[in-house]
Amino acid sequence: MLSSAERLFREQGFGSSTIRRIATDAEVSTGTVMSVGDKDALLVAIFDTWIAAVHHGREGPHEQNDATPLPAEAAARQVLDLVEPFITYFALDLELSREYAAVIVRGSHQSEVFQGLAQALLTELEALLARTPLTATEAGAGARALYFAYLGILMTVGNGALDQRAAIAQFQEVIHFVVHHEGSQR
């Protein structure tokens, strides 16, 4: 059902796709589609499902307990590797990303991006930063700064104000600022 909704949203546009058309395409009843919710809820579920799949897909090879020290440049590359798939996904279809951002801003539907998935990304970022010369406190603060910069960049890409290349370049600037941070205590 979500596959049908996503395909129709991308092919026909979010506004032109109807619950009835999604149900017909998915070969289910409109009641089955509505059990997920309205179109906004379907859109949030599509984005959340894709983002969760990316996180779960890297749980195995991405060792969170790795304490091997990382030079700043290697850490910066790994941080970018964590978020680049999301920036790319948002840039894939700006209209759909704009709709998603609008749903999130309205607050009418909860997104895992700001709940469990947020914590997963924060944990991944902090684990990476903990392997740099940053202190534990700086690694935590850096992870939060990167997470909020990431959200801002996703919303900006979704708004169409930045293309994918510019978004990645701007996020790289934030990453470099964080990983090259030399605390006030040093």
Across the range 100-108, mean pLDDT stands at 84
Q: Is residue 186 part of a domain?
A: no
In a domain, 185, yes or no: no
* CATH code where residue 145 lies: 1.10.357
Q: How many CB atoms lie within 10 A of CB 73?
A: 11
Residues 25 and 78 in one domain: no
Work out the burial of residue 16: count CB atoms within 10 Å of its CB; fewer than 13 is exposed, 13-18 middle, 19 or more buried: exposed
The pTM assigned to this predicted structure is: 0.79
- pLDDT tens, position by position, 127-184: 999 999 899 999 999 999 999 998 888 888 877 888 889 989 999 999 999 988 765 4
- Picking from 19-28, 88-97, 109-118, which range would have the lowest pLDDT averaged per residue? 109-118
The mean per-residue pLDDT over the stretch 17-28 comes to: 96
- Dist. CA 182–CA 90, nearest whole Å: 32
Q: Please indicate, yes or no, whether residues 147 and 58 belong to a single structural domain of this protein.
A: yes
| Same structural domain, 77 and 154 | yes
Residues 33 and 116 in one domain: no
Q: Which domain holds residue 101?
A: 38-179
